[in-house]
Amino acid sequence: MTDSNIAGIAEADFGKAGVSFDNDRPILVDSSDFLFYAALAMLPIDGTVAGPYMPFWTPLSPWLFMAYAVANWRLLPKVWHRFRAFFLFPVLLIALSAVDWCLVAFHRLPALVSLAGVAGALACLCALDMALRIKRLSWRRMVDLLILVYWFAFAVGVVQRLSIMFDWTSVKNFFIHLMSRQYISSTSHWGGGRPQFLFAEPSYIGMHLFGVLLPLIWLVRGRDHKRANQLRVLIMVFAAGSVLMGAGVRVILDSIIALVFVIIESADWKSWRGRLLALAELVAAVGAGTGSMLLNHRLSSIAELGFDGDGSFYARLWQSMGPLVGAAKHPLRLLLGYGAGNLSDATHQGANAAVHVLQRFGLDASQPIRWYTQVTSANMFTMSAYTSFIVEFGAAACVILLISVLRHITSRHAWRKTIVCWLILVSYLYVQFEGYAFYALPLLVWATSLYPEHECVSARHKRA
């Protein structure tokens, strides 16, 4: 490895860390690669009736990643060599669930959907490694495709907003029938009259902007400034446009938090000037957050009234509280989980205690009571990956996953400022998103594997 390579890695230039941008990289190696590009093209399309159901979203990309991994099964041993722990982890989840299916309940379809989400995350990891490291397909073409499809998704949101403003009935009806859970019509009980682009719901905008596109900037900026700048423009326009079009409040919160991490990651903390500039930028970001709360009705209502200030914000609390309280009442279930697909069983066991807690804090429990009563294994969701995962598979499995990720980063000697900011940002994003198959965590795990193996070996020799 040359000195320039090592310097690039130190600055989180992943373009120099095993994945180059050479012009001789092919766009296609064989026909199966069309599946990978199709998966990339479908990334921003996760809420239409075309996608199979997963909890609170209907994505297409995880299934295409699975198909790509299966089509290239001969490459799996090479992927296994780098990601053994992540291949074995689903086996652990199935083993834990098998016990719970005997002791608690076995709901076949919800269990299958839950485990399919886990498989989707692993398939995304496999597909990335196969396409980019093993087959060495063109990064430039992939980034170009992602920029194109996310601009298309934004344009769809603009059309949706115009159709709402000018009451274009035919356009609204098209999207009402296209989306699995629509937010276009004013009568939508999910909170209508706002664009959702092609996402399952408007609050997922930040998952894509800051779980997929922002990390892409960190990955490509060292070798392709043009595309990195194109990604920056896309993120800024998408975020600002979403706010101006009234898509929701979560994109505001996500944007402010992501901005804080961008400032921390890009700052030169070694010099006084860099530190002062970073602190000034952080103060400005906090000021922007404060201003958003004052100007946005929902945010100001939340700031003033707490959970009573916004029904959607309150729902996030009690949708998670029921199953978590159920798990807390049974320490063994909290440790080992209720099993894949058994969220509703935990909710029923914790419903009364959860309602009591809400009432003790002076909160209106009428809607939670109705929700807990009508919950079944088929309609249960939590809107939080942490809640779903801990309740289904237990706190022990959650800790094992965390240790696996941290150990993977450590084994690659990848602890850099960029990775720390990226890891914390990804951890935040999953708080209000329960899709196991989302791409943010697999992308992080794969990117950290780019650190060259022989650098890790040399570092171990130095310690010895």
Answer yes or no: is 215 within a domain: yes
Domain annotation covers residue 14: no
Q: How confident is the model at residue 8 (pLDDT cuts 50, 70, 90)?
A: very low
Query: How many structural domains are present in the chain?
Result: 1
Residue 320 lies in a domain: no
Residue 178 lies in a domain: yes
Q: Does 367 fall in a domain?
A: no
Residues with Cβ < 8 Å from 72, sequence gap 6 or more? 32, 130
Domain hosting 457: range is 27-310+378-463
Q: Which residue has the higher pLDDT, 193 or 393?
A: 393
Is 357 domain-assigned?
no
Does some domain include residue 223?
yes
pLDDT of 7 > 60? The answer is no
Tokens 């996500």 map to which residue?
A: 254
Question: What percent of the chain lies above the pLDDT cut of 90?
Answer: 80
pLDDT tens track for 46-63: 999 999 999 889 999 999
Mean pLDDT of 342-366: 94
Please report the pLDDT score of residue 275 as a whole number: 93
Q: pLDDT tier at 189 (50, 70, 90 boundaries)?
A: confident
pLDDT at site 386: 97
Tell me which of 19-33, 135-149, 227-241, 313-327 is least confident.
19-33
Per-residue pLDDT tens digits for 10-41: 344 444 444 444 566 889 999 999 999 999 99
* Predicted pLDDT at 24: 67
Confidence at 261, pLDDT banded by 50, 70, 90: very high
Residue at 138 is within a domain? yes
